Amino acid sequence: MILPEEYGSAGFRDIVLTKRINGDDDDANPFTLINSNHASYLPLHYVLLFPYGESRWHGGSTLDNREGNQQNKNISQRTFYRFHLHTRRNEPATLFRAQKLFQQFVVDAWAVCDQNKLSWIRSHQSNIRGDLYNGLSDALEVADMDLERIGKKVVLPSSYVGGDRFMQQLYQDSIAIVRHFGKPSLFITFTANPKWVQIANELLPGQSAADRPDLVARVFNLKVRDLLDQIRHKEIFCPWLGWVWTIEYQKRGLPHLHLLVFLRTDNQFLTAANIDSSISAELPPPDDAISQEWRGIIEMTMVHTDCIAHNGQALCMQGLDPFAVQTWRKSYPRSFQEQTIINEDGYPTYRRRDTRQAYSVEVQSNGANVTAMIDKRRAVPYSPYLSLRYKGNINVEVCGSVKAVKYIHKYIYKGGDRATVILDSEHDEIKRYLQGRYIGPTEAVWRLFEFSTHGEEPAVMHLDLHLPNQQAIYFAEWENPAMLRQRMDSSITTLIAYFKYNSEKPDGREYLYHEFPLHYVYVRKKG
Amino acid sequence: MRPLREPLHTLINGDNGRSRSFQLILRRWNELFAFTSIQLNMDKRMNEMGTTFQVFQVHGAMYHRQGPLVPGGGRDALYSQIYLYDPAYAVQERSRRASDLDPEIIRSLTMMLQESNPMIQIYLTAKERLAEIAQAEDNFCLILNPKL
């Protein structure tokens, strides 16, 4: 503790104490926000988790470098919390026993990291802001112009994971992959199952999966890795070409994966026999040799049961149920179907033979267990192999036509839950994002662990497209007009480079602009 | 992390009825002893669905807040302000605010923190120094160094 005169002005990671706040007698809320970069930020609130007031992360934390063979490295906030989110044999598991307080703790920790990142983006807007070259040329003509007034809006750049621009970027990348390969072959949705044995084995006595978002996130991440490996390297469906995927979190906190797979298929792939061999929409018959276990999994995860429980008010339709699949076409129960057929619109109608069997399943309705009878009209298409392997909710659908592609892409890149907020006229994307965002415990842990939230292969390269003299250039607020002019004159885009190369050399002239990067490499040189 | 001291260790790790009911409302207990308060919007949508699934989900930004060291305008002492009282009086104040919670647990936790939490002494010293310096100016402030 120091007095301000010994220290200078309050720094960015200080807690400022006052005896009173001026005029607080009338103020309904005399509390002030404290800075999240202070080492005591978390211990001051989570007193019962850190009763010794141990310091946590602060801006100057460095890695403990016992061997002394490396330079001391600063440790980031995220790294620090991640380090503490592992149970250790020689440490008490206080944090992991705290149930809802633990959930609050991880949400808090991630909110702090995220808000710090957002405030960095806000304070570095000048490095991010771009303006159209042409518009800037116009502005430069006007005498006595104020450079600080060009580009007043606050931008959340596409490099910020989860922002609107980020999602838009992913969507466009994905559409570029479709342009290259044609329509995707399979659309897979994979939801974490809180009853997985890998989670259950690690729970502390008396805990449920909801108490341990860290376990749910880690187990699901491993299963997703394995699923991707199965499809890509084990080629369980067909030879692999590429994919795009995103991770989302349902309102109950369970993560799920949306995956579009591009496979090397010939024109004959979309036949009833091929579909029946890898995808099923039927329940295994009760007298079949298939193990009870498999039946249990399918019945537990692959059936639209909530539709029964809520008399049509299905939780799954509102995206609220972890056991029901988030399909993009809800029309359950379906009718019986003797043969798989391919409809004219390209969607297959899966085989659901009428065997006059029904199963009784336990369904949760308003917290109470209800027994309901189901038959295969309520079964969601799945892959027997994958469902058995992951013992969880995996919905596999064939993408029949190119019509569905845009719709599915919109669906998987719609982004996390957001609330609509009404803002004043100012254009502030950071504020808008922050006010609309939801954070749940699983997402918080997922992001703290830095697990991937999306993936796409093959890599997509962004090519510039602009009219002459209208390429985007980036400049800082403090740059003077002369520096700006120089920056404009030296800016070269991929489009300019493409024209330049082809006007000088004849060897690449048979390739269109978008084909060019498949054969040539753009090298960005400084200066 | 060091092992917890009693009674907190048994309350958080224990399996008896007293510990279990403590664990169920651990967030409330923590709130009662916190130095700082939290400003957040809880996501209430799941509760509206009437499910029993417990998820702590927030909406919008999340901040910690710090009040002045002395409550103004005849208000009750809250958060760090309570720590500036004599421990016995602090127990009384906390029990009054949370009359449905076990006063014996409130007393023993207050005493445990009094012995083990260094933040209490820092706040007390801060209050004393502010009292010395700020006799003339009421709006003086102190800074807690991050490397505490």
pLDDT digits (tens, 9 = 90+) for A338-384: 667 766 666 677 777 666 666 555 555 445 555 555 555 566 777 77
Residues 83-102 of chain B with CB under 8 A from chain A are none
pLDDT of residue A217: 92
pLDDT tens across A11-21, in order? 445 566 666 55
pLDDT tens across A494-508, in order? 888 888 888 888 887
On chain B, the residues whose CB falls within 8 A of the CB of A16 are 66, 141-144
Chain B interface, best mutation among A37, A44, A114, by max B CB count within 10 A: A44
On chain A, the residues whose CB falls within 8 A of the CB of B26 are 48, 98-101
A91 phi, psi to nearest 5 deg: -125, 145
Contact B2 A52 (CB under 8 A): yes
Instruction: Name the percent of chain B lying above pLDDT 90.
Output: 1
Distance from CA of B88 to the nearest CA of A (A): 19
**C-alpha separations of B56 from A11, A107, A249, A257, B53 in Å:** 32, 8, 13, 22, 10
Closest chain A residue to B132, measured at CA: A19
Count the alpha carbons within 13 Å of A170 in the hemisphere toward its beta carbon.
25
Structure token pair of residue A84: 């503490």
- Dihedral Cα A11, A16, A18, A23, nearest 10 deg: 80
CB B36 within 8 A of CB B137: no
pLDDT of residue A218: 92
On chain A, the residues whose CB falls within 8 A of the CB of B141 are 4, 16-18
CB-nearest to A101 from B26, B66, B70 is B26
On whether any CB of chain B is under 8 Å from the CB of A418, the answer is no
Q: Indicate whether A164 pLDDT > 50.
A: yes
User: Three-state SS for A243?
Assistant: strand
Q: Which one, of A226, A173, A249, A205, lies nearest residue A458 by Cα?
A: A173
Q: Which residue has the higher pLDDT, A460 or A127?
A: A460
Helix ranges (DSSP H) in chain B: 8-13, 17-24, 26-33, 45-48, 80-83, 87-97, 103-116, 118-133
pLDDT of residue A474: 67
**C-alpha separations of A106 from A84, A211, A445, B21, B89 in Å:** 10, 11, 6, 22, 33
What's the mean pLDDT in A33-43? 76
What's the mean pLDDT in A235-262? 83
pLDDT of residue A274: 72
Q: Which residue has the higher pLDDT, A17 or B112?
A: B112
On whether any CB of chain A is under 8 Å from the CB of B64, the answer is yes
Q: Which one, of A189, A215, A186, A169, lies nearest residue A415 by Cα?
A: A169
Residues B66, B37: Cα–Cα separation, whole Å: 7
Whole-number average pLDDT of chain A: 71
CB-nearest to B72 from A1, A30, A48 is A30
On whether any CB of chain B is under 8 Å from the CB of A436, the answer is yes
Which range among A252-266, A364-378, B56-70 shows the weakest confidence by mean pLDDT? A364-378
Closest chain B residue to A38, measured at CA: B146
pLDDT of residue A133: 44
Taken in order A259, A264, A267, A271, the sign of the CA dihedral is: negative
Instruction: Name the percent of chain A lying above pLDDT 70.
Output: 58
- Cis peptide bond prior to A333, omega within 30° of 0: yes
Q: Indicate whether A219 pLDDT > 90.
A: yes
Contact A55 B147 (CB under 8 A): yes
Q: Indicate whether A477 pLDDT > 90.
A: no
Q: Which one, of A94, A109, A95, lies nearest residue A41 by Cα?
A: A109
CB-nearest to B54 from A18, A100, A315 is A100
Which range among A76-85, A171-180, B11-20, B47-56 shows the weakest confidence by mean pLDDT? B47-56
Residues A406, A132: Cα–Cα separation, whole Å: 30
pLDDT of residue B52: 45
Contact A17 B59 (CB under 8 A): no
Contact partners, residue A13, CB within 8 Å, separation at least 6: A35, A37, A38, A39, A58, A59, B146
Contact A1 B125 (CB under 8 A): yes
pLDDT of residue A23: 47
pLDDT of residue A69: 57
What's the mean pLDDT in A107-117? 88
Burial A416-446 (b: 16+ CB within 10 A, else e): bbbeeeeeeeeebbbbbbbbbbbbbbbbbbb
Distance from CA of B84 to the nearest CA of A (A): 12
DSSP secondary structure of A55-123: ----TT-B---SS--S---B--HHHHHHHHTS--TTS--TGGG-THHHHHHHHHHHHHHHHHHHHHHHH
On chain A, the residues whose CB falls within 8 A of the CB of B22 are none
On chain B, the residues whose CB falls within 8 A of the CB of A91 are 1
Q: In sequence order, what are the beta bridge partners of A243?
A: A261, A457
On chain A, the residues whose CB falls within 8 A of the CB of B59 are 419, 437-438
Q: In sequence order, what are the beta bridge partners of A187?
A: A260, A397
Whole-number average pLDDT of chain B: 79
Per-domain residue ranges of chain A? 1-75, 164-457
Q: Which residue has the higher pLDDT, A34 or A512?
A: A512
On chain A, the residues whose CB falls within 8 A of the CB of B5 are 51
Structure token pair of residue A279: 């995808």
Contact B117 A51 (CB under 8 A): yes
Which range among A22-36, A164-178, B76-90 shows the weakest confidence by mean pLDDT? A22-36
pLDDT of residue A327: 41
Burial category of A4 from C-beta neighbours within 10 Å (exposed 0-12, middle 13-18, buried 19 and up) = middle
pLDDT of residue A325: 38
On chain B, the residues whose CB falls within 8 A of the CB of A59 are 146
Residues B134, B127: Cα–Cα separation, whole Å: 10
pLDDT band at A220 (very low <50, low <70, confident <90, very high): very high
Residues B25, B20: Cα–Cα separation, whole Å: 9
On whether any CB of chain A is under 8 Å from the CB of B48, the answer is no
CB A79 within 8 A of CB A100: no
Contact B68 A18 (CB under 8 A): yes
pLDDT of residue A226: 93
On whether any CB of chain B is under 8 Å from the CB of A8, the answer is no
pLDDT of residue A369: 55
Q: Which residue has the higher pLDDT, A361 or A385?
A: A385
Residues A522, A494: Cα–Cα separation, whole Å: 7
Residues A297, A315: Cα–Cα separation, whole Å: 20
What's the mean pLDDT in A77-92? 83
Which range among A129-138, A413-422, A437-446, A484-493 shows the weakest confidence by mean pLDDT? A129-138
Contact B62 A441 (CB under 8 A): no
Distance from CA of B55 to the nearest CA of A (A): 7
Closest chain A residue to B106, measured at CA: A48
pLDDT of residue A223: 93
Residues A413, A259: Cα–Cα separation, whole Å: 11
Which range among A191-205, A313-327, A453-467 shows the weakest confidence by mean pLDDT? A313-327
Give the range with max mean pLDDT: A249-258, B37-46, B100-109, B129-138: B100-109
CB-nearest to B23 from A49, A99, A253 is A99
Distance from CA of A4 to the nearest CA of B (A): 6
Structure token pair of residue A288: 């079949």
pLDDT of residue A143: 45
Q: Indicate whether A2 pLDDT > 50.
A: no
pLDDT band at A8 (very low <50, low <70, confident <90, very high): very low
Which range among A8-22, A111-125, A178-192 shows the weakest confidence by mean pLDDT? A8-22
On whether any CB of chain B is under 8 Å from the CB of A447, the answer is no
Contact partners, residue A105, CB within 8 Å, separation at least 6: A42, A46, A49, A95, A98
Helical axes A100-123 vs A213-232, angle rounded to 10°: 70
**C-alpha separations of B100 from A98, B25, B28, B95, B110 in Å:** 21, 12, 11, 8, 17
How many contacts does A have with B, using Cβ atoms within 8 A?
263
Closest chain B residue to A84, measured at CA: B1
pLDDT of residue A251: 63
What's the mean pLDDT in B38-66? 71
CB A77 within 8 A of CB A13: no
Q: What is the reported pTM?
A: 0.80
pLDDT band at A25 (very low <50, low <70, confident <90, very high): very low
Contact A48 B8 (CB under 8 A): yes
Residues A131, A387: Cα–Cα separation, whole Å: 50
Burial category of A12 from C-beta neighbours within 10 Å (exposed 0-12, middle 13-18, buried 19 and up) = exposed
Taking phi over 0 as left and psi of -120 to 50 as alpha, with beta for the rest, A370 belongs to beta
On whether any CB of chain A is under 8 Å from the CB of B124, the answer is no
Q: Which one, of A307, A315, A320, A298, lies nearest residue A395 by Cα?
A: A298
pLDDT of residue A328: 35
On whether any CB of chain A is under 8 Å from the CB of B136, the answer is no
Contact B36 A440 (CB under 8 A): no
